[in-house]
Amino acid sequence: MKTLDTSFRYPIKTGSYHRPGIERQGAWISFTAAVPAEKDCALLLYKKGSPEAEIEIPMEYSTRYGDLRSVEIEKLPIEKYEYNYRIAGTIVTDSYARRISGRKTWGQAPAGEAALRGCIISDEFDWEGDEPLQIPYTDVIAYATHVRGFTKHPTSGVRAKGTFAGVREKIPYLKALGINQLELMPVYEFAEVEAWDEKRPAIRRGRSDEPLMNYWGYTDSYYFAPKASYAASNDPVRELKTLVKELHKNGIELVLEFYFPKAMQTARVLDCIRYWVLEYHIDGVHVNRDHTPVEALAQEPLLSHTKIMSEGFGLEEIYDGRTVPGFRNLAEYNDGFMMDIRRFLKGDEGMIPAFIWRERKNPERHAVMNYLAGHNGFTLMDAVSYDEKHNEANGEDNRDGTDYNYSWNCGEEGPSRKKKTLELRSRQLRNALVMLYLGQGVPVLYGGDEHGNSQLGNNNVYCQDNELSWIKWKPGKAWEYLEEYVRRLISFRKDHPVFHQDAELRQTDYLSCGHPDVSYHGKRAWLGDFENYSRSVGILYAGEYVSANSEGKEHDDSFYVAYNMHWIPHEFALPKLPGKQVWTIALDTGIEGTDGIHAEGSEELLTDQRTVTVSERTILVLRGQTRRKEKKEQKEQKKQAGAEAE
């Protein structure tokens, strides 16, 4: 044992080898590390603020259990100490550390061999009975963003910009929008800039001469520790837990994204996810399938009610035969919906089959996350404003980022002042949002798309920590209506469960042979136009549907959604409604601003009940309703019957 200060008087003994990291057992604190047998190891304890270790405690090979070595210290004042390990002569920061010191200031690289240290955190936090919300996927309205980029812009209006506390300040906004699930890009302790090394070249800079950094956080990291520079306070652990608790109080789940490198062991991945679920009460995780043992996560009993999202799953490996899980916690999260819907949106031929499949996809054993934009690619605004990527600011001669954006600039590349171009882009944005929120899968809004956020055609802002990647909260006058438009669409979806049923719509009618839950129509009722040249289709959602959350059948009105992504108008034949119901206009994307969404009870009666002509690049949503006069008579009859019963 080496010591620089004889004042260290805390008892030390061999540890219990429970698992890597720090464990508390009464008055004792156990430090455990995984170290190959042939390497020496010692625990280094530093007093906070001191550049040198106060004591170096050997962790002998003879006391190992497998590759685990452990020591325990009694009554150590945790608020005064930080720690590292010395392994084979090199100072190493604990990969299981629950808090890291040395990266409090964003963009400031730690300098020195022992600049990064593990912190011993207190387990005390009043959760006030908090638990994960377990909202069924059918009811989820998701919003995905980056902690720093969400509130860092001067227009965000929050005090603690770019932090967990800043996100907490925006909870009323998310709730008012209708969001009940928030997904955050990596919040654990990653290196946005590398530790200083005189042998490394100078920090890479982009075209504007700003330093470029790992803004997103997709790198090997300290996965058990929340990012210190994302905290407005000096306690990122408490600040993040407070955010989770406040989100839950407002009916909003928290899903965290994790990027694991290919070489990361399955045991460490499982330890990490279990820790965040137990310690931070998170509701779900989004992981990369290529490097993550998703089947192992899906079969972990502790995570059976935790949402697990990835590009796909080996369902036969996870479930026996046709077993349907009691709680559907898995979700497919890939670009399929985005690519197919964007192609249909811009009018590509041959997209009708792919479009209707994406709109109705909602399997029994896993959910589907639907999005039209994300951090990796164009924002929704850029998808209607650019034909090509413009990543010159990244300093890689525009070679980075995908070339397959399936976007359309509506006639002019980039920002425009032309009225017709702006009107067309606005209509395309409304069309895209309607497709997103009327799909049977889980809609995911990329943060800022509700403001018409643009990255100036950059589809790979992984290295941009500036106004290019931050959300601008005060859009130009042309896009001020979008936030309210999104809010109304979310409300419309929530009010009408036919657009988010509990399981895949099994009764589908392609050939005019009944009255199924969903059917397809075109120039003739009950017969969709699926030809390669077709760019329009009518979808009828029957009013009665089965819900797994209630007994028997529930009812909703019937809806007919006419999609015309052609550049010419198209006529649709309308199916006859049962009884004395009539078609009314609930939504029309051909009308500018929010006026195209009619409030409940103010829907406009459709003049012709047999056919309707839909303008070019327009979506028309018709609602089957009983005539208002007859509705009034029905209410009076019901009221009279109730009075007689009394």
**Which tens digits make up the pLDDT trace of 411-461?**
999 999 999 999 999 999 999 999 999 999 999 999 999 999 999 999 999
C-beta separation of 297 from 308 below 8 A: yes
Reading the block at residue 600, the tokens are: 């409940």
Q: How confident is the model at residue 37 (pLDDT cuts 50, 70, 90)?
A: confident
Q: Distance (Å, rounded) from C-alpha 587 to C-alpha 618?
A: 10
Q: How confident is the model at residue 200 (pLDDT cuts 50, 70, 90)?
A: very low
In this prediction, residues 557-571 reach a mean pLDDT of 96
pLDDT tens per residue, range 140-149: 999 999 999 9
3-state secondary structure of 179: coil
Q: Distance (Å, rounded) from C-alpha 640 to C-alpha 593?
A: 43
> Taken in order 185, 190, 194, 196, is the CA torsion positive or negative?
positive
Q: How confident is the model at residue 546 (pLDDT cuts 50, 70, 90)?
A: very low
Q: Distance (Å, rounded) from C-alpha 471 to C-alpha 473?
A: 6
pLDDT of 221 strictly over 50: yes
Residue-level pLDDT at 324: 79
C-beta separation of 435 from 371 below 8 A: no
pLDDT of 206 strictly over 80: no
Query: Percent of the chain beyond pLDDT 90?
Result: 75
Give the distance between the most distant pair of CA atoms in the chain.
93
Q: Distance (Å, rounded) from C-alpha 550 to C-alpha 207?
A: 58
**Number of Cα atoms under 13 Å in the Cβ half of residue 485:** 28
pLDDT tens per residue, range 320-362: 766 778 899 999 999 999 999 999 999 999 999 999 999 999 9
Q: Which pTM was predicted?
A: 0.93
> How many Å separate Cα 26 from the centre of its chain?
39
Average pLDDT score over the chain: 90
> Taken in order 426, 139, 518, 631, is the CA torsion positive or negative?
negative
pLDDT tens per residue, range 99-120: 999 999 999 888 888 999 999 9
Residue-level pLDDT at 196: 47
Type of residue found at 306: T
In this prediction, residues 528-538 reach a mean pLDDT of 92
Q: Which of 163, 182, 288, 294 has the alpha carbon at shortest distance from 235?
A: 163
Reading the block at residue 205, the tokens are: 């800079």
C-beta separation of 212 from 204 below 8 A: yes
pLDDT tens per residue, range 39-71: 999 999 999 989 999 999 999 877 678 899 999
Q: Which of 491, 462, 477, 476 has the alpha carbon at shortest distance from 587?
A: 491
In this prediction, residues 3-28 reach a mean pLDDT of 83
Q: Distance (Å, rounded) from C-alpha 170 to C-alpha 166?
A: 7
Type of residue found at 607: T
